[in-house]
Amino acid sequence: MHPILFEIGPFTVRTYGFFLALGFLAGMFVIMREAKRQGFDSEEVLDICFYSLFAAIVASRLAYVAFNWNEQFANDPLAMVRIWDGGLVFYGGFLGAVAVFVIFACKYQMPFFKLADVFALGVPLGHAFGRLGCFSAGCCYGAPTDSACSVTFTHPLSIAPQFVALYPTQLYSSAGNLGIFLFLFLVLRKRKKWDGQILASYLALYAVFRFCIEFLRGDERGAFFLGVLSPSQLVAAVMFFAAFLLYAFLRKNQPIQ
């Protein structure tokens, strides 16, 4: 709704970037707090946070560029670096961050699934703030609707279609991620029975939520599978199946706490 937060002379602060930064700080706060409680080395966890963030930004941007090359970037390659205008793919960033997480968890010889549970608490909170950034920039917008629960973008810099009533999918996504965070942090964290339980639960919950919210999205979704499912829904289905298998495996093989 408001792509530009404020301007001071030539200095411009984009609302999208502000919420991304806020999301990272919020997620990192939760991760560092829980890591300390679990007895992890703070400096090593901080290293993983920053390197994972860098990998997530690069990978999520590359995924967005790949999906939108002909539409946005073929005639303006320099636009690839303008991430402050919006345009990050969560799944791409997630995979990039996971790759770095695995590398550093092995490097520091940390208990993998115990540490993964710590990070799984912070990710949905950071994601919730990030989706508010999407709302401010107008990316990840919803399909047109006659519903009373709609939003109309009017700012000329908005990525979303202007003066059209749309589903506020960014706000739905933010609320959904916040709900996942609250469940994991306030409920499951206190009832955790084995390492990896929070991670598997997060993956399953997000996959279900993302699969459903995709039906309301109105932005370019890529080639649809069988004319029905978007690429993100296919990824969500695979993620849910993987989370289910991971949950069953860890429940059987991890010692009960």
Give residue 96's Cα distance to chain centre.
Answer: 12
Q: What is the pLDDT of residue 63?
A: 80
Q: What is the pLDDT of residue 84?
A: 59
Cβ partners under 8 Å of residue 125, min gap 6: 23, 26, 27, 30, 177, 178, 181, 185
Give residue 92's Cα distance to chain centre.
Answer: 9
Distance set, CA 203 to CA 105, 174, 196, 233, 244 (Å): 19, 16, 11, 14, 9
Query: Which three-class secondary structure state does DSSP give residue 14?
Result: strand
Segment (H or E) for 6: strand 4-8
Dist CA 159 CA 152 (whole Å) = 12
Mean pLDDT of 237-257: 89
Dist CA 120 CA 140 (whole Å) = 23
Under the banding of pLDDT at 50, 70 and 90, the label for residue 221 is confident
Under the banding of pLDDT at 50, 70 and 90, the label for residue 34 is very high
| Closest alpha carbon to 127 in 213, 45, 46, 47 | 213
Is 257 a residue whose pLDDT tops 70? no
CB atoms within 10 A of CB 118: 24
Q: Mind listing the pLDDT tens digit for each residue in 167-219? A: 999 999 999 999 999 999 999 999 999 999 999 999 999 999 999 999 999 98
Under the banding of pLDDT at 50, 70 and 90, the label for residue 229 is confident
Dist CA 157 CA 137 (whole Å) = 8
Q: What is the pLDDT of residue 79?
A: 66
Cβ–Cβ under 8 Å, residues 178 and 125: yes
Q: What is the pTM of this model?
A: 0.89
Domain regions of the chain by residue span: 4-193
Q: What is the pLDDT of residue 85?
A: 60
Is 224 a residue whose pLDDT tops 80? no
